């Protein structure tokens, strides 16, 4: 598989400064930031719910397993960084309205 994205240097040395990357910089570069802030997760969940009215209707009609669709959308939006329990709790609240 050929990728169009430029190769990343994972040597731990910033190619621009020649200095070692901080752990925070490594997390940023690799997209590994954990999202534990309920407000941030709520905003993402709200957007996902707003953008998917058909799935909201299916959920509200009693097909509770559709919550997996919403959870996946939130995880995709946060590059799997959203705290799963907080995400599920917030989604259930929003979908119950």
The whole-number pLDDT of residue 3 equals 47
How deeply is 52 buried, as exposed, middle or buried, from its count of CB atoms within 10 A (0-12, 13-18, 19+)?
A: middle
pLDDT tens per residue across span 34-66: 788 899 999 999 999 999 999 999 999 999 999
| Domain range annotation of the chain | 38-96
CATH level 2 (architecture), domain 38-96: Orthogonal Bundle (1.10)
Structure tokens at 40: 């941030």
Q: Cβ distance 27 to 33 under 8 Å?
A: yes
- Please give the Cα distance from 73 to 75 (Å, whole number): 5
Average pLDDT, the chain: 85
């Amino acid at each position: 598989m050929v990728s169009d994205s430029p190769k990343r240097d994972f040597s731990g040395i910033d190619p621009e400064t020649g200095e070692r990357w901080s752990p925070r910089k490594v997390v940023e570069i690799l997209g590994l930031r954990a999202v534990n802030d309920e407000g941030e997760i709520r905003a993402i969940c709200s957007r996902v719910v707003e953008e998917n009215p058909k799935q909201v209707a299916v959920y509200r009609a009693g097909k509770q397993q559709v919550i997996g669709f919403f959870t996946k959308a939130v995880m995709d939006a946060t590059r799997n960084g959203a705290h799963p329990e907080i995400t599920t709790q917030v989604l259930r609240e929003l979908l119950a309205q």
